[in-house]
Amino acid sequence: MIAMCGGGTGGHLAVVRAVSSKVKSTPMIYIGSTTGQDRRWFEDDERFQKRYFLETRGVVNQGLFGKFTSIYMLIKATIKAISILRSHRVKVVFSVGGFSSAPTAFASKILNIPLVIDEQNAHIGSLNRVLKPLSRYFISSYDEDSPIKDYPISDELFKKARVREELKSIIFLGGSQGAVAINRLAFSLAESLRDRGIEIIHQAGDRNLEEARRRYSELGVDVKLFGFTDRLSDYIREADFAIARAGASTLWELTANLCPTLFIPYPYSAGDHQYYNGKFLQDRGVAWVIREEELSADKVLKILDSVDLERVSNRIKDLELIKPNGAEAIAEIVESLSK
């Protein structure tokens, strides 16, 4: 039996989905949190024999009382996780990090069950820093010592990859929850992009859709606008340039599709990890990073007016920063430990 744990955010959960889809025959359970998006993603996922959602929350960015409350919840959830792992006779735990992984990861070490960690970000999270020396395998696209460097994303992005040649469309990606700064940037650029004949594709987030529709209507600009979608790979393929947060899944999906991207890191990401994710690509000459507080429409237009899309897109391709089958390779490691 395999236990997969962690989540809270779509970036973590996308890794669970990608890897679990490649597990061939070993039964699995999922252990997540009542906080965050875990239920939305996996409550009805029949790939898992059982799905558990424990009461946990983050410890970071809490006041003193909040920290004590979070630690108390963690201890209770760890005791529950020990019971779950024992009852299912779990042989290996696969963790994608995030606060919701902590109880099961700690339980695995108490029970001496092998732990495999997938770290999605260039800056290692505080929990994973603690658990890295205790893990059987530590997997990261940024770590030279990682046994697997290919990020586990859908094969669709590779199959639909194309070299960009001419700037005809831009996609703004704020995630299914939306990103206020990226939305505001899109509105401020809308008329200039329209005048340049550049189509706008915009993921504004479910909760921001009505406001976005109103703003574009006032500006008189037609856009392809959506919140959550299961057609994201199609929209990414259609775009010639992207402006996005620098969460790991988004970053590697755009890279796999060979899409030149300007990253606007979320300024409150733990350990500023989104900045370091984007910088990893910027340092290799295949992306741009502008911090949110330094963002302006003029800076973005200067990039768009000077970018050689074909050169950047081909450089992404030539560097082979990510290749297909990352999820399959991770699944093979996890399954081998469950025998």
Percent above pLDDT 70 for the chain: 96
- Helix/strand/coil (H/E/C) assignment for every residue in 191-247: HHHHHCCCEEEEECCHHHHHHHHHHHHHHCCCCEEECCCCCHHHHHHHCCEEEECCC
Give the pLDDT confidence of 88-100 residue by residue, as tens digits: 999 999 999 877 8
326 - beta bridge partners? none
**89 and 190 share a domain?**
no
Q: Residue 63 burial by CB count (10 A; 0-12/13-18/19+): exposed, middle or buried?
A: exposed
pLDDT of residue 7: 78
Average pLDDT in the 191-217 region? 95
Angle between helical axes of 297-306 and 180-195 (0-180°, round to 10) = 50
Are 175 and 128 contained in the same domain? no
**H or E stretch at 140:** strand 137-140
Question: Do 161 and 147 share a structural domain?
Answer: no
Tokens coding 164: 């960009």
Which H or E run includes 92?
Answer: strand 92-95
Strand order in the sheet with 2-5: 50-54, 28-33, 2-5, 92-95, 115-119, 137-140
Amino acid at 207: R
Q: Which helix (H) or strand (E) holds 170?
A: strand 169-173
| pLDDT of 69 strictly over 80 | no
> Which pLDDT value is given to residue 170?
98
List, for residues 277-289, the tens digit of each pLDDT value.
Answer: 999 999 999 999 9
Evaluate if residue 74 carries a pLDDT over 60: yes
- What's the pLDDT band for 265 if we cut at 50, 70, 90? very high
Same domain, 186 and 149: no
123 pLDDT above the threshold of 80: yes
Q: Are residues 208 and 80 in the same domain?
A: no
The answer to whether residues 144 and 246 belong to one domain is no
Beta-carbon neighbour count of residue 323 at 10 Å? 12
User: Do 125 and 257 fall into the same domain?
Assistant: no
Domain range enclosing 52: 2-153+325-337
Cα angle 45, 46, 49; round to 5: 115
- Site of tokens 């983050």: 58
* 250: Cβ contacts below 8 Å, ≥ 6 apart: 11, 173, 175, 244
CATH number assigned to the domain comprising residue 61? 3.40.50.2000
Supply the pTM of this predicted model: 0.83
Average pLDDT value over all residues in the chain: 91
